[in-house]
Chains A and B, each alone.
Chain A
């Protein structure tokens, strides 16, 4: 599975959009991009995933570049409760249970 690179921290004003970038330059054709977030002392929570098209759900939007080497998670109207560590990972759906690497993620702090 491809490795990912994320900035260690970001701030965002409450009510504004939070844009969290992720680089995955070695991603292969059958690997999906997944985003999770972890609020302090809880288990990570699934947010969204995508292959090559942009995706949107009730939590966020995922924008994947045409070459698939990077992506951006967008929280359209950040609230204080969105303060968390956000993890970007890539995974093949080939059926293998091969381990994934969770890096240190991005600590998003939403400021009042």
Chain B
């Protein structure tokens, strides 16, 4: 099956801890994205990457970091600098050569306890 795998589905973190969310794709899509969604709100872009070893900040990058060491993987680290990390996190991919839109993962719900 081609698709995006986000893990874990639910994640709990203590205040002050860093945590890494996984996003893996086997669609061979060029671009990968991380979005944050708060209850009742739309999606806000955290980071995106068009090619390996390159990424750009989105609208709300503060307190987050990413890496793109290989095409298939785009992990997101939520650092202790992110003051309000409890949210639903979505990973997406995009085939830049095609006319079709985003493919989204099933999301990770992060809760700070």
Contacts and interface: CB of A to CB of B under 8 A. Distances in A.
Interface residues of B, number: 33
B58 interface: yes
B97 interface: yes
Q: Which of B48, B100, B101, B104 has the most CB atoms of chain A within a 10 A radius of its CB?
A: B101
B50 A46 contact: no
Contacts of A45: 104
B10 to A, nearest CB: 10
B79 interface: no
A65 interface: no
Q: Which of A43, A45, A95, A105 has the most CB atoms of chain B within a 10 A radius of its CB?
A: A43
Contact of A91 (B33, B40, B97, B101): B101
Contacts of A96: 50, 96
Contact of A49 (B41, B94, B99): B99
Contact of B96 (A34, A44, A95): A95
Given A99-B45, A103-B42, A46 B101 contact: yes
A99 B104 contact: no
Nearest to B59: A99
A102 B58 CA distance: 13
Q: Which of A49, A96, A100 has the most CB atoms of chain B within a 10 A radius of its CB?
A: A100
Report, nearest first, the 3 A-B pairs whose CB atoms are least far apart: A43-B104, A97-B50, A102-B43
Interface of A: 32, 34, 36, 41-46, 49, 87, 89, 91, 93, 95-97, 99-105
7 contacts: A42-B106, A42-B107, A44-B43, A93-B99, A95-B97, A100-B102, A102-B43
